[in-house]
């Protein structure tokens, strides 16, 4: 039987790239995100190219009932999940804390922290029943450092870092691996979402240096997931060569 990976936020960027990588490696996939049209298109493409089974489940990770209903509603064979990639996440805004938009704060906290927890609560129990599994949490360099105006986004990613450590401790006795992958600057839809559709502002984030692309992180995630059974990578930070810290990027122009 093929192994199964559940990838949250598979409609774009790092999650979509992970779907391609795990499909190439012969995994059957559960792909989630809010944009059902993108999930359907991706599932069809991967099914045609790799002849794997793909289940799609469209839900908003912020909505606890939707998460439970959607995951519990999958046919029972899909509970044999080997790898969970907790990738769905976002940033909204880049403002000093005294000027921050409170709705944006709620969105980031509800998505990056609470959404990740809702999914993990369900899938970790499947893994415990199965006696195996690997949870890979997508953190950020923003979970290791705090930068100007990054306040709440950085706090959510610091929370992911802490939850990763907590999961590692709590799930150890069940034989479940837990890893955090912390990317630096990756050119995806991330900045467009942060700047609410302002494509020009988003583009500027990646100007003057070569950023990572989503596939760089997907290949790192695959490396982490494909270590032998007795090896767990707890934590890994991956950056563009031109970046040494959250805000320290060498730009040629």
Residues at the contact surface with ligand NDP, assessed by CB under 6 A: 9-15, 33-35, 60-62, 87-90, 111, 115, 138, 140, 183, 185-186, 188-190, 193, 214
Choose, from 27, 50, 118, 153, the residue flagged as catalytic: 153
Any idea which residue has 């990027």 for tokens? 249
Q: Is 153 a catalytic residue?
A: yes
Q: Is 141 in the site for ligand 8X3 (CB under 6 A)?
A: yes
Backbone φ and ψ for 63, nearest 5 degrees, come out as: -95, 100
Backbone φ and ψ for 210, nearest 5 degrees, come out as: -95, 105
Q: What sign for the dihedral angle of Cα 197, 243, 149, 14?
A: positive
Q: And the tokens for 65?
A: 């009932």
CB atoms within 10 A of CB 192: 16
Cβ atoms 147, 117 nearer than 8 A: no
* Integer Cα distance of 206 and 200 in angstroms: 11
Picked from ligand NDP, ligand 8X3, none, the partner binding residue 11 (CB below 5 to 8 A depending on kind) is ligand NDP
* Integer Cα distance of 9 and 3 in angstroms: 20
Picked from ligand NDP, ligand 8X3, none, the partner binding residue 67 (CB below 5 to 8 A depending on kind) is none
Per CB under 6 A, the segment of 57-65, 125-133, 134-142, 161-169 that binds ligand 8X3 is: 134-142
Q: Is 181 in the site for ligand 8X3 (CB under 6 A)?
A: no
Per CB under 6 A, the segment of 56-64, 139-147, 196-204, 220-228 that binds ligand 8X3 is: 139-147
Any idea which residue has 């002849």 for tokens? 51
* Integer Cα distance of 15 and 45 in angstroms: 15
Q: Is 142 in the site for ligand 8X3 (CB under 6 A)?
A: yes
Residue 121 Cβ, how far from ligand 8X3 at the closest point, in Å?
A: 24
Residue 154 Cβ, how far from ligand 8X3 at the closest point, in Å?
A: 7
Q: Is 138 in the site for ligand 8X3 (CB under 6 A)?
A: no
For the annotated catalytic residues, the residue numbers are 153
């Amino acid at each position: 039987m093929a192994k199964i990976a559940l990838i949250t936020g598979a409609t774009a960027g790092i999650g979509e790239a992970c779907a391609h990588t795990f499909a190439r490696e012969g995994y059957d996939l559960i792909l989630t995100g809010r944009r059902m049209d993108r999930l359907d298109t991706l599932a069809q493409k991967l099914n045609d190219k790799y002849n794997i089974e793909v289940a799609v489940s469209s839900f908003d990770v912020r909505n606890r009932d939707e998460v439970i209903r959607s995951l519990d509603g999958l046919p029972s064979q899909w509970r044999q999940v080997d790898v969970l990639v907790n990738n769905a996440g976002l940033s909204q805004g880049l403002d000093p804390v005294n000027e921050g938009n409170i709705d944006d704060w709620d969105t980031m906290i509800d998505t990056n922290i609470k959404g990740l927890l809702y999914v993990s609560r369900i899938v970790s129990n499947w893994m415990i029943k199965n006696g195996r599994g690997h949870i890979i949490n997508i953190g950020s360099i923003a979970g290791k450092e705090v930068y100007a105006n990054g306040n709440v986004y950085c706090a959510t990613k610091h929370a992911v870092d802490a939850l990763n450590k907590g999961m590692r401790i709590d799930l150890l006795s069940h034989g479940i691996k837990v890893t955090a992958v912390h990317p630096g600057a990756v050119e995806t839809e991330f900045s467009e979402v942060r700047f609410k559709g302002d494509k020009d502002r988003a583009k500027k984030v990646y100007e003057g240096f070569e950023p990572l692309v989503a596939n760089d992180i997907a290949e790192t995630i695959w490396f982490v997931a494909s270590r032998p059974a007795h090896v767990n990578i707890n934590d890994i930070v991956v950056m563009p060569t031109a970046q040494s810290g959250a805000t320290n990027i060498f730009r040629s122009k």
